[in-house]
Amino acid sequence: MDLSSNSESKVPVLQTATALAISFMICKIGAYLTQLCKIQGGTLPTVTAIVVFLATLFPAQFGYLAPAGDTLAMVLMQVKNVVSSFVYWCLIKCLFQELTP
């Protein structure tokens, strides 16, 4: 039995927490700026512009958070799969209820 630790397979907790905190702040700032300028539907482009601007200014810091992005993407894909399966199940159930007399 091998008890040695493998740091490559561990979830980067500090990086993940930092990435979540920065993402939350960027989204809140983007939403605030969009409301301040009264631009309907402009939150996503504003957040994207902020991220590109910050990643250009601080490439090393955002590069440090990249492994956390991979981890978050993997978790969110699993959540999407569970939600999609539930939605498909509900649609099929509703469809069969309408077809049966």
Report the chain's mean pLDDT, rounded to a whole number.
84
Query: What would the pLDDT profile of 42-79 be if each residue is shown by its tens digit?
Result: 999 999 999 999 999 999 988 888 888 787 888 889 99
Query: What would the pLDDT profile of 15-49 be if each residue is shown by its tens digit?
Result: 888 888 999 999 999 999 999 999 899 999 999 99
Task: State yes or no: pLDDT of 88 exceeds 60.
Answer: yes
Planar angle of CA 81, 70, 15, nearest 5 degrees: 125
pTM over 0.75: no
Asked whether the beta carbons of 78 and 22 are under 8 A apart, the reply is no
The pairs formed by 31-39 with CB atoms below 8 angstroms and a separation of 24 or more are none
